[in-house]
Structure 1
Amino acid sequence: MTDTPASEARRVRLRHVWRVLTLQRRLAKAQAKREFRAAVAALTPDDVAIDLGANVGRFTRPMAERGAQVYAFEPDPHAFGLLQVAMRGYPNVTLIAAAAGDAEGTITLHRHADFAAAPDSRTKSSSIIAAKANVAGGQGVPVRLVDFPRFVAGLNRDVALLKIDIEGAEVPLMEALLAHPVAARIARIFVETHERGIPQLARRTDALRAASRGLAQPRVNWNWH
């Protein structure tokens, strides 16, 4: 079937829109990375920073080097072992072998389908969300789940910086956090979202973006990393 001028024009418009949206996403992520680096650089020994999804400490370390009191959560047992090694010599870092969520208990952590082939790198994909595209249901391990709003409420200082990269679990966590008064004790939040790998989270992610827009505190950046 021969394309009509109208259908060809529509394809051209769609390609243009796609290119514009892709560029906007890239620019937003680049800006988020700059803001995150600035927020880390502004940390002082009087501050509290929290790293959710610390993995092996790539972002925990620069927080720690600023002298802040850092709480690093990592649920994957393999990654947590590497994190312990990486954070030796940082007495200002508290390591917590747990997933952050909206309740206390035990939950299944689902690992990458090829976890056994390269565990050191595959831990970055581990998630408590079974629907995530690159995890396999048979690769699960039980891990501790911490009620994160309750954890923050128990701190004796406000939180200067919160980084969240928890492979889809950011949605239920942020829903619980923004509904809790303790959210106002957090200055900056940087979130990596995963609706591309978990499409069913897209609407809830969009709703969270809208709910956090205009908040004086916390200031939430949803474009990080």
Structure 2
Amino acid sequence: MLQESYLEFILRWHLYRRWHRPPRPKRQAEFNFHQLMKAIPANGLFIDLGANVGDVTRHALSYGMKVIAFEPDPTALEMLTRRFGNDQRVTIIPKAVGGSARKATLHQRPDARNIRMTEWSSLFEVPAHAKGSAFEVEVIDLVQFLKGICDPIAIVKMDIEGAEAECIEAMLDDGIYRSIGRILVETHERLSPDLAARIGALRDRISRENITNIDLDWG
């Protein structure tokens, strides 16, 4: 997602609209992302959870944001560091995030040499990870991390392959979400029936409590 430059994206977007074709959900999410970023003052703080190789980080920088990028996958982290390791606007943290601090196993697909396949790396082991590599990673307590940030947080983007459920649950229970501008979440119900049930419960809770700054349909 967001692999194109803004110019490439907007040309393709208007081409779809010219032919009156409804945009695919990912295209609509990208359009909404750009519209949101245009409305945010420059120099805000963007937290990229599951930064992968940094495509979303790149766009956040293009809108004048400062970025904290989390990426635990060692293959993706190498590329992310090559792209942004010398950029003073970017802080790279080679860890996963969760609802509690702990050690955990990160699972890769067997074809993770293809850098785009690292997007599937997850703390949840699924059949696609069979015969792939596994690494022990440090998981930080996301709520405690957010509480330690002094600057206002404009955006938290969360694409963490299943760990989003425990993170959002913890943020709701603590109330830390109220101090964040917008929280953009890509959900992964496909990974397991249990995860699908948790995401469904979160959708109900967000609707019931009239929470408007958490978007579970991003991505």
Fold in common (TM above 0.5)? yes
2:171 aligns with one of 155, 177, 189: 177
Q: Distance in 2 between matches of 1:72 and 1:88?
A: 11
Q: Assess, with a 3 A threshold, how the Cα gap between structure 1 residues 68 and 217 changes in structure 2: closer, same or farther.
A: farther
Q: Distance in 1 between matches of 2:110 and 2:131?
A: 8
Q: Cα offset for 1:220?
A: 1.4
Q: Secondary structure at the match of 2:191?
A: coil
Q: Which residue of 2 aligns with 1:197?
A: 191
In structure 2, runs of 5+ residues without a counterpart are 1-22
Q: Which residue of 1 aligns with 2:92?
A: 95
Q: Secondary structure at the match of 1:213?
A: helix
Q: Which residue of 1 aligns with 2:204?
A: 210
Preserved contact between residue 124 and residue 191 of structure 2 (Cα < 8 Å):
no
- Count of residue pairs brought into register by the alignment: 197
Q: Which residue of 1 aligns with 2:9?
A: none
Does 1:154 find its partner at 2:151? no
Aligned-residue CA RMSD (Å): 2.1
1:110 aligns with one of 101, 107, 112: 107
Q: Cα offset for 1:190?
A: 1.1
Q: Secondary structure at the match of 2:167?
A: helix
Q: Secondary structure at the match of 1:211?
A: helix
Q: Cα offset for 1:83?
A: 0.1
Q: Cα offset for 1:136?
A: 2.9
Does 1:128 find its partner at 2:119? no
Preserved contact between residue 109 and residue 121 of structure 2 (Cα < 8 Å):
yes
Q: Assess, with a 3 A threshold, how the Cα gap between structure 1 residues 69 and 216 changes in structure 2: closer, same or farther.
A: farther
Structural mapping, 1:15-26, within 5 Å: none
Identity of aligned residues (%): 36
TM-score, with normalisation over the residues of structure 1? 0.79
TM-score, with normalisation over the residues of structure 2? 0.81
Q: Deviations over 1:195-214 (max 9, x none)?
A: 12333311110111121226
Q: Deviations over 1:3-52 (max 9, x none)?
A: xxxxxxxxxxxxxxxxxxxxxxx765544332212222334343111111
Q: Distance in 2 between matches of 1:81 and 1:222?
A: 29
Kindly provide the amino acid, as one letter, of the partner of residue 187 in structure 2.
T
Preserved contact between residue 85 and residue 92 of structure 2 (Cα < 8 Å):
no
Preserved contact between residue 109 and residue 131 of structure 2 (Cα < 8 Å):
no
Preserved contact between residue 46 and residue 69 of structure 1 (Cα < 8 Å):
yes
Does 1:61 find its partner at 2:55? no
